[in-house]
């Protein structure tokens, strides 16, 4: 299961944030991040995007927002991790790999001109598509406004 934790260490609004306001801020930012990450995630089949969830731990000033993208490959590995970080030459290991058929004599590779059969294939990998990072960069400008809104919900209007 891929999991990215986002901790907001310092968010300051005039007179500071109390525990309830901080908790609301974390919830608002995490939910907004979840929505934006869903929009940014690759959607060839929508399996990964539909497996994205938002969860919370703790309360008050110890509240943590957790975004999860749950999708598994056939052998049980986490698919969102490979999409986010890349594979092969483009991934963390920086090396290409060979694929071979498990149960047949050849691989069937679909192409626009028809199917090509090969005993093995040299694969460079897949470039990273860091959709969580893209989502965080897009909503970074919204955090001060979300902080003011969270503060105002608890304490009334915020002095500008």
On whether both 48 and 73 belong to a single domain, the answer is yes
pLDDT of residue 158: 52
Task: Name the domain count of the chain.
Answer: 2
pLDDT at 10 over 60: no
Q: Determine the structural domain holding residue 102 and report its residue range.
A: 96-127
On whether both 59 and 119 belong to a single domain, the answer is no
Residue 67 and residue 144 in one domain:
yes
What whole-number distance in Å separates Cα of residue 148 and Cα of residue 21? Answer: 9
Q: Is 35 inside a domain boundary?
A: yes
User: Does 9 have pLDDT greater than 80?
Assistant: no
Residue 65 has pLDDT above 50, yes or no: yes
> How many Å apart are CA 87 and CA 60, to the nearest integer?
39
Residues 106 and 52 in one domain: no
**Residues 23 and 42 grouped into a single domain:** yes
What is the rounded distance in angstroms from the CA atom of residue 80 to the CA atom of residue 89? 18
Residues 71 and 123 both lie in one domain:
no
Share above pLDDT 70 across residues of the chain, in percent, rounded to a whole number: 86
131/18 Cα distance (integer angstroms) = 31
CA torsion angle 14 18 24 28 (round to 10): 30
Same-domain status, 81 and 113: no
Q: Is the pLDDT confidence value at 4 over 70? A: no
Q: Is the dihedral of CA 67, 37, 138, 27 positive or negative?
A: negative
The stretch 64-68 carries a mean pLDDT of: 83
Predicted confidence band at 93 (pLDDT cuts at 50, 70, 90)?
confident
Query: Using only C-alpha atoms, what is the Rg of the chain?
Result: 21
Is residue 119 in a domain? Answer: yes
For the entire predicted model, the pTM comes to 0.70
């Amino acid at each position: 299961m891929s999991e990215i934790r986002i901790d907001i260490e310092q968010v300051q609004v005039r007179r500071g944030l109390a525990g309830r306001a901080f908790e609301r801020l974390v919830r608002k930012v995490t939910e907004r991040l979840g929505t934006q990450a869903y929009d940014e995630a690759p959607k060839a089949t929508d399996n990964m995007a539909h497996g994205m969830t938002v969860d919370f731990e703790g309360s008050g000033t110890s509240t943590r927002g957790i975004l999860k993208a749950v999708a598994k490959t056939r052998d049980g590995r986490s698919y969102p991790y490979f999409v986010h970080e890349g594979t092969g030459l483009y991934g963390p290991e920086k090396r290409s790999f060979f694929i071979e058929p498990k149960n047949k004599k050849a691989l069937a590779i679909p192409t626009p001109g028809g199917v090509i059969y090969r005993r093995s294939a040299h694969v460079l990998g897949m470039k990273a598509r860091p959709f969580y990072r893209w989502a965080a960069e897009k909503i970074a400008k919204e955090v001060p406004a979300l902080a003011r809104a969270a503060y105002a919900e608890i304490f009334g209007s915020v002095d500008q």
